[in-house]
């Protein structure tokens, strides 16, 4: 596959449009990453944070709808980004925009699980909240241990967790889009909850587990990209578009 492959990426909680640079560097040279950005960070730093899933999806929809035209593309998201990638795909399909040829989800249970979770990290006291962030093993210790840096990042993280923790799932017709799901072996999620992604597509999902905690994607970059490349190569619509 030598033609450029466009991959729209949705950042994880606390992330921004630069979050997937390590993955991009590990990807085949013809993979072109387009990472969308959320309000309240990087070039949108002066915009208020959005902590409601529907509002955030509307913001993302307005960003992407002028960028997809008739070109084929893939949608990817990790953690919160996985939920938003799914919801954005739904929004595009409902509004008769071109759907992605493939949906790639990492570090995320099926969307119907979110509303059943009782732990609300966005409401935790600061000490407990910081320990939760350390346990995720993806946020630099320098940030977590520096009061000034946490004063900046903590509101962003709490807002992003609120997006997921207050999300109420709306059941809809399954998508006709292949879904690849990859999670870490040490993540705090049950396999049966991960497999609920099967309810969101008429096609059989491809489920993979790689060694590691929640941010395994950065320690297993090559393995993640190998799984993505393998699944895109066997996607019939993808082969038709790119061969």
The predicted structure's pLDDT at residue 1: 46
- Torsion angles phi and psi, residue 178, rounded to 5: -65, 140
- pLDDT tens digits for range 158-210: 999 999 999 999 989 999 999 999 999 999 899 999 999 999 999 999 999 99
In percent, how much of the chain has pLDDT > 90?
73
In 3D space, the residue among 71, 110, 75, 70 whose CA is nearest the CA of residue 91 turns out to be 75
Cα(199)–Cα(222) distance, integer angstroms: 29
Going by C-beta distance under 8 Å and a sequence separation of 6 or more, which residues neighbour residue 110?
A: 193, 194, 195, 196, 197, 198, 199, 200
- pLDDT tens digits for range 111-136: 998 877 767 889 889 889 888 888 87
In which band, very low, low, confident or very high, does the pLDDT at 36 lie, cut at 50, 70 and 90?
Answer: very high
Q: Give the pairing type, strands 31-35 and 73-78.
A: unpaired
In 3D space, the residue among 229, 239, 243 whose CA is nearest the CA of residue 7 turns out to be 229
pTM above 0.85, yes or no: yes
Q: DSSP letter string over 6-67? A: EEEEE--TT--TTTTHHHHHHS-TTEEEEE---TTSGGGTTSPP---HHHHHHHHHHHHTTT
All domains in the chain, ordered by first residue? 5-113+172-242 (3.40.50.1820)
Cα(107)–Cα(15) distance, integer angstroms: 14
């Amino acid at each position: 596959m030598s033609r450029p492959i466009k991959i729209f990426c949705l950042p994880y909680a606390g992330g921004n449009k630069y979050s997937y640079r390590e993955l991009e560097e590990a990807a085949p040279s013809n993979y072109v990453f387009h990472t969308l950005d959320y309000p309240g960070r990087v070039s949108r730093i002066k915009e208020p944070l959005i902590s409601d899933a529907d509002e955030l999806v509307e913001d993302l929809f307005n960003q992407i709808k002028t960028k997809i035209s008739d070109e084929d593309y893939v949608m990817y998201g990790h953690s919160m980004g996985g939920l938003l990638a799914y919801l954005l795909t739904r929004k595009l399909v409902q509004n008769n925009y071109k759907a992605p040829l493939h949906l790639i989800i990492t570090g995320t249970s099926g969307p119907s699980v979110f509303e059943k979770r009782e732990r609300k990290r966005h409401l935790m006291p600061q000490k407990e909240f910081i320990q939760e962030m350390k346990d995720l093993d993806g946020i630099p210790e320098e940030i977590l241990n520096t009061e000034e840096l946490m004063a900046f990042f903590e509101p962003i993280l709490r807002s992003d967790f609120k997006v997921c923790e207050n999300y109420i799932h709306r059941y809809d017709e399954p998508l006709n889009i292949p879904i690849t799901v990859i999670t870490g072996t040490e993540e705090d999620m049950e396999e049966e909850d991960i497999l609920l992604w099967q309810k969101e597509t008429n096609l059989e999902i491809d489920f993979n587990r790689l060694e590691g905690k929640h941010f395994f994607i950065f320690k297993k970059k090559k393995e993640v990209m190998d799984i993505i490349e393998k699944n895109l190569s066997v996607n019939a619509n993808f082969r038709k578009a790119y061969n």
